Structure 1
Amino acid sequence: MKHVLIAILAWLGAVSVVSAQETDLRTLETGADVRGWEAVGRLDFRDGFCTAAMIRDNLILTAAHCVYTDAGRIRDANEFTFSAGLRSGRAEATRGVHSLVAHPQYEHSPNSIEDKNVAVDIAVLRLDQPIRRARIQPFRIDEQPTQGDQIGVVSYGRGRSEAPSLQEVCSVLGRQTGVVVMTCDVVQGSSGSPVFTLSDGAPRIVSVVSAIAQVGEDKVSLGTSLREPLQTLLSHFASLGPARPGGTQRVMRVGERNDTGAKFVRPSN
């Protein structure tokens, strides 16, 4: 995750990013603590990790930039391991990854972050085996949050990588051009973390953490306006066939490599 300052933040002006109602991060250390959050896990790859969450028994959701190397190569699927509910070195379930794809409109640029990319900074990864356990339930997707909404986030991060941390209450400062600006406390490794609202007492994902930015001297987090981009991504994923040798790499599977830095095909209108 990169600390960035992007033009979209200018319209926030002098908004105060601290709310008296917001809560601090709380480490989920025990089985009781993590209950209901077991479908959030750490997504490990060769040189780092992100956070991801299950949206089906065989699909996890994370940030698109997590599936790229700094050199712009899409990582091979077998570089990833997903550990659901990981805490103190033990996971509720551990799976490899069979295939993955980023949003078709996401264009990876490791040296800069633009609002158009933050708005679609999501990827889905298909697990090599489904996770079907009663206590590990995939999360549903809810409507995009609006300014003033209270949200929460579950994340792993640098300095707290061995157990998930929950911030029960943070706030939406605003939303523009598909980017949600939030006060949620995230750090490196928190990329891909699910952002939740509570609907009928059940947490539902409304955004995915993409980046850190600044409003004045205050740190804020940036995420996607999730629902429509996710529908586009899932439709794109369902339509993909095998990667085309010598052509545009459309989906990465175990054993296949993409060293060309090729971009995904945009869906036709």
Structure 2
Amino acid sequence: MPVLPIKKLIVSGVLCVLSAAAVAGTTLRGNDTRLKSLETTDAGRDWEAVGRLDRAGEGFCTGALIAPDIVLTAAHCLYDRDTMAQIDPTSIEFLAGWRNGRASAYRAVKRAVLHPRYVYDGTLSAKRVRNDIALLQLQRPIRNTTVTPFETDARPREGARVGVVSYAQDRSEAPSLQEVCKVIARQDGVLVMSCDVDFGASGAPVFSFDAGRPRIVSVVSAKARVEGSAVSLGASLAEELALLQSQLTGAHVGSRMPQGVGRVQVGEPRRSDIGAKFISN
């Protein structure tokens, strides 16, 4: 049996392998659209349920409303990168539709549920990325008619066109939309995508437009490189999200989250950067 050649996938300094069959004949950014700023009211009108997740103004991630009081994001946004300790979820604020110093709604986080198999231990693996999802319950539901929660959908197939709405270190005051990028591969439950992401886009929703309206199919977990080209990695949803939703409705959901942890940041990169870090070591 012939052995397929492999492509190298580098994730924040960690070398993995990606089957050449997944990327053969693929131009990573051949038909991708560029980032479009959503800083005006008209441009951002359909994306008000995407917001910035702030920890006392120190570092941020991106999150998206999937119910009036539930935000979907990446699990690693709930950890202090230096101490590797989980942070107090009540220190986080969701700024729905944050744009040029104002939000359509401001809500504190009441509690958080992380994927039970997610481990933030200083290592990087497909399992860690695959389980990198969390749900945040807000103190009060958002009933603003301009902020409509997004529906979720099944994981997209290889070659599917998707889009991402995110904040980042160079666009922290308004989100940007990349309406067309593609799923390069699905490997070990992880989506490898050509989407343009940067620090701060951790937890950003990945959208499918197949149903005629945007539906969330993944969240951004990390950025990586394939043969020198930048790619993004998306965490799994589907049954994983159902698991978190069932946990959220159970008793003592917030018991995993320590209270009163000292000075912590939501995924804040070291020192001078302002956006949230992707999974890295």
TM-score w.r.t. the length of structure 2 is: 0.83
Deviations 1:14-73 (A, max 9, x none): 564424321000110111100110000000114310000001000000000000111121
Give 1:3-22 correspondences, 5 Å limit: 3-9=12-18, 12=22, 16-22=26-32
Counterpart code for 1:62: T
Q: 2:256 aligns with which of 250, 258, 263?
A: 250
Q: Gaps (5+ residues) in structure 1?
A: 244-248, 260-269
| Structure 1 match to 2:238 | 227
Mapped to 2, the partners of 1:35 and 1:6 lie a distance apart of 40
Kindly, what percent of the aligned residue pairs are identical?
46
| Structure 2 match to 1:53 | 64
Deviations 1:195-233 (A, max 9, x none): 001143210000000001111101110011211111111
Counterpart code for 2:51: G
**Pair 1:240–1:113, CA change in 2 (3 A):** farther
Counterpart code for 2:192: V
| Structure 2 match to 1:29 | 39
TM-score w.r.t. the length of structure 1 is: 0.87
Counterpart code for 1:9: L
| Structure 1 match to 2:160 | 149
**Pair 1:65–1:15, CA change in 2 (3 A):** farther
Instruction: Kindly indicate whether the alpha-carbon contact (under 8 Å) linking 2:23 and 2:184 is maintained by their aligned counterparts in 1.
Output: no
Mapped to 1, the partners of 2:205 and 2:107 lie a distance apart of 19
Mapped to 1, the partners of 2:74 and 2:89 lie a distance apart of 15
Deviations 1:93-148 (A, max 9, x none): 11111111211110012x33210011110011111111011111100011111110
| Structure 2 match to 1:97 | 109
Mapped to 2, the partners of 1:89 and 1:136 lie a distance apart of 17
2:95 is aligned with 1:83: yes
Mapped to 1, the partners of 2:73 and 2:29 lie a distance apart of 27
Mapped to 2, the partners of 1:36 and 1:122 lie a distance apart of 23
Deviations 1:167-220 (A, max 9, x none): 000000010211000000000000000000114321000000000111110111
Q: Gaps (5+ residues) in structure 2?
A: 1-10, 263-281
Mapped to 2, the partners of 1:122 and 1:60 lie a distance apart of 11
Give 1:1-269 correspondences, 5 Å limit: 3-9=12-18, 12=22, 16-46=26-56, 47-70=58-81, 71-109=83-121, 111-241=122-252, 249-251=255-257, 256-257=259-260
Counterpart code for 1:250: R
| 3-state SS of paired residue (1:161) | coil
C-alpha root-mean-square deviation of aligned residues, in Å?
1.9
Mapped to 2, the partners of 1:123 and 1:91 lie a distance apart of 22
Instruction: Kindly indicate whether the alpha-carbon contact (under 8 Å) linking 1:140 and 1:205 is maintained by their aligned counterparts in 2.
Output: yes
Instruction: Kindly indicate whether the alpha-carbon contact (under 8 Å) linking 1:104 and 1:236 is maintained by their aligned counterparts in 2.
Output: no
| Structure 2 match to 1:263 | none
| Structure 1 match to 2:274 | none
Instruction: Kindly indicate whether the alpha-carbon contact (under 8 Å) linking 1:6 and 1:113 is maintained by their aligned counterparts in 2.
Output: no
| Structure 1 match to 2:273 | none
**Pair 1:258–1:239, CA change in 2 (3 A):** farther
